[in-house]
């Protein structure tokens, strides 16, 4: 043990010296050696593309054990939250650290509903954006402009402003998303109805009425709520890391979340749910020939991946995919005709899991493999899928941004590099 009270259990030996590094242990026994002094003491940095071995912070929000397929928000297993909580309770839990009591939940919900309407100028701004633009592009743009529409809530150093920005983002993201959708299909946008719940009103603002039966509407709202819970946080994924990196410069919460939306849009991240549906359509177009599609995936030259499969962290199974697969079966069961794409997805999963290419590389269905078939059954076009992911992920982004803001160890994110370009050369020849 050294003067700073940290156990120095890792020793780095290198030509010309040695340096002892503190070893830190997380709640669940995970180990990390602290490399903060590496450059100043040993004169070297770590090289870790994709940060796969690098912890950028200590966090109290979400725990994942990828080998065991465990996901917990603030200590609670995802399965328990999925079975017993609403999305708003989970959002509150992620952001404030504890589940709300009945009074707190009522207040939280009322405040969100009361702030759901967009300023008139913001509506006009969204309506002026290209209506055939991808909804994720428009969503990122609209959220970024909230820093201008609510300029008195952008100071990360002011807790009241941060609380107000938190509320406005949570309250208005569904309203913005529904407006973008209505514009894209040439229908008049609908204003929020404060008497409805968060998810129910989002579905109403999007589809503008009921789906034909109260029972079906309730099932869709329940399914949407569950999907939002399952997407609500996933520790240091690409978009959350982006939110933290942008926030580390003391950019506003709006600017940081807008950056997160753009990171989420990438096909290797949140864009995968859209890509899965496109892949299933493609296979259907090939007459449902799963074998030749999988052969193409296994041929590295083809550059084709089995979308919705594989995960940086889960190397056994993704606990969210199990919940979603069950939900998909429940929803699609209600349809008069069997859902061709769902059946195709089941076949694809079955064949992939019986194939050593996938099992050897520990590639299993992830959260996106079945979510798209549910969204499609509800009536969402594929371009809206990642927008739904963003609505779900928003509380996680906010929780991480707020945690970093109060973390005394947080510094501006500024990675190092190993320069391998040309050595100094003469400009004048
Ligand atoms: N299909 C086919 N092969 C795959 C796939 C896949 N979906 N995913 C990984 N592999 C292969 C790679 O080619 C590589 O093979 P190799 O060892 O022979 O070279 C091996 O498995 C390891 O793959 P990496 O790319 O190193 O894994 P990484 O952890 O970097 O990537 C990722 C994870 C991006 C999720 C990847 O599995 C992928 O592209 N999946 C498809 C896209 C997807 O579904 N993304 C959603 C992720 S969940 C989320 O963001 C919400």
Annotated catalytic residue 201: no
Beta carbon of 246 within 6 Å of any ligand 1 atom: no
Orientation of helix 253-264 relative to helix 159-184, angle to 10°: 40
What is the Å distance from ligand 1's center to 307 Cα? Answer: 9
Query: In the structure encoding, which two tokens stand for residue 376, read together?
Result: 């499609």
pLDDT given at position 8 = 66
pLDDT given at position 375 = 92
pLDDT given at position 405 = 98
Beta carbon of 171 within 6 Å of any ligand 1 atom: no
Averaged pLDDT, groups of 10, the chain, 429 residues long: 66 92 95 94 95 97 93 97 97 98 98 98 98 97 98 98 98 98 96 96 88 77 95 97 98 98 93 90 93 95 94 88 86 83 92 96 91 90 95 98 97 97 95
Query: In the structure encoding, which two tokens stand for residue 128, read together?
Result: 């002026």
Helix (H) / strand (E) containing 392 = helix 385-405
What is the Å distance from ligand 1's center to 322 Cα? Answer: 19
Query: In the structure encoding, which two tokens stand for residue 24, read together?
Result: 């830190």
Beta carbon of 307 within 6 Å of any ligand 1 atom: yes
195, with CB counted inside 10 A (0-12, 13-18, 19+), is exposed
Q: Which residues contact 200 (CB under 8 A, 6 or more apart)?
A: 217, 221
pLDDT given at position 335 = 79
Residue with the smallest CA separation from ligand 1 atom 14 is 361
Which of the residues 234, 311, 339, 400 is marked catalytic?
Answer: 311
Q: What is the DSSP string of 197-220?
A: -HHHHHHHHHHSS--S-HHHHHHH
- Of 236, 267, 304, 310, which is best to mutate to test ligand 1, by the most ligand atoms within 8 angstroms of its C-beta? 310
Q: Collapsing DSSP states into helix, strand and coil, what is residue 304?
A: coil
Helix (H) / strand (E) containing 398 = helix 385-405
DSSP state of 38: I
Annotated catalytic residue 193: no
CA distance 106 to 114: 12
pTM of the model: 0.91
Task: Please say whether the beta carbons of 156 and 166 come within 8 A.
Answer: no
* Nearest residue to 226 (alpha-carbon basis) of 378, 59, 97: 378
- Pairing between strand 70-73 and 62-65? antiparallel
DSSP state of 67: T
CA distance 374 to 370: 7
Beta carbon of 371 within 6 Å of any ligand 1 atom: no
Residue with the smallest CA separation from ligand 1 atom 15 is 361
Number of residues assigned to the chain? 429
* Nearest residue to 279 (alpha-carbon basis) of 307, 251, 254: 307
Residue with the smallest CA separation from ligand 1 atom 4 is 305
CA distance 88 to 90: 5
Beta carbon of 306 within 6 Å of any ligand 1 atom: yes
**CA distances (Å), origin 419, targets 45, 50, 106:** 12, 17, 55
Query: In the structure encoding, which two tokens stand for residue 142, read together?
Result: 């609209």
* Nearest residue to 398 (alpha-carbon basis) of 231, 199, 249, 260: 260
Beta carbon of 131 within 6 Å of any ligand 1 atom: no
């Amino acid at each position: 043990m050294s003067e700073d009270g940290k156990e120095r259990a890792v020793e780095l030996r290198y030509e010309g010296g040695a340096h002892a590094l503190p070893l830190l242990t997380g709640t669940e026994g995970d180990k990390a050696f602290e490399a903060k002094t590496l450059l100043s003491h040993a004169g070297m940095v770590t090289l870790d593309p994709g940060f796969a071995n690098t912890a950028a912070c200590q966090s109290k929000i979400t725990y994942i054990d990828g080998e065991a397929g465990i996901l917990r928000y603030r200590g609670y297993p995802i399965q328990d939250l999925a079975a017993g909580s609403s999305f708003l309770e989970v959002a509150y839990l992620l952001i404030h650290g504890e589940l709300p009591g009945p009074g707190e939940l009522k207040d939280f919900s009322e405040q969100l509903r009361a702030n759901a309407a967009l300023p008139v100028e913001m509506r006009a701004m969204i309506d002026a954006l290209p209506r055939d633009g991808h909804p994720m592009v428009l969503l990122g743009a609209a959220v970024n402009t909230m820093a201008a529409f609510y300029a008195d809530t952008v100071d990360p150093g002011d807790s009241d402003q941060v609380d107000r920005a938190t509320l406005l983002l949570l309250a208005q993201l569904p309203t913005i998303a529904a407006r973008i959708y209505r514009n894209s299909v040439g229908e008049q946008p609908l204003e929020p109805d404060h008497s409805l719940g968060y998810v129910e009103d989002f579905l109403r603002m999007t589809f503008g009425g009921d789906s034909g039966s109260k029972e079906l509407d309730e099932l869709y709202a329940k399914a949407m709520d569950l999907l939002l819970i399952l997407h609500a946080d996933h520790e240091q994924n690409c978009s959350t890391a982006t939110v933290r990196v942008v926030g580390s410069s003391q950019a506003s919460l709006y600017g940081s979340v807008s950056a997160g939306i753009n990171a989420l849009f990438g096909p290797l991240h949140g864009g995968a749910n859209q890509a899965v549906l496109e892949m299933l359509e493609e296979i259907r177009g090939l007459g449902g020939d799963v074998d030749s599609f999988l052969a193409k995936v296994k041929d590295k030259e083809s550059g084709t991946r089995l979308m919705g499969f594989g995960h940086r962290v889960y190397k056994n199974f993704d606990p969210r995919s199990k919940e979603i697969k069950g939900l998909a079966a429940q929803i699609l069961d209600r349809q008069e005709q069997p859902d061709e794409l769902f059946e195709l997805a089941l076949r694809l999963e079955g064949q992939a899991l019986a194939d050593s290419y996938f099992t050897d590389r520990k590639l299993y269905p992830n959260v996106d493999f079945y979510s798209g078939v549910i969204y499609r059954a509800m009536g969402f076009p594929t371009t809206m899928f990642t927008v739904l992911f963003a609505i779900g992920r928003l509380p996680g982004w906010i929780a991480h941004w707020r945690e970093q803001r109060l973390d005394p160890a947080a510094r501006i994110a500024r990675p190092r590099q190993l320069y391998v370009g040309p050595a100094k050369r003469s400009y004048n020849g």
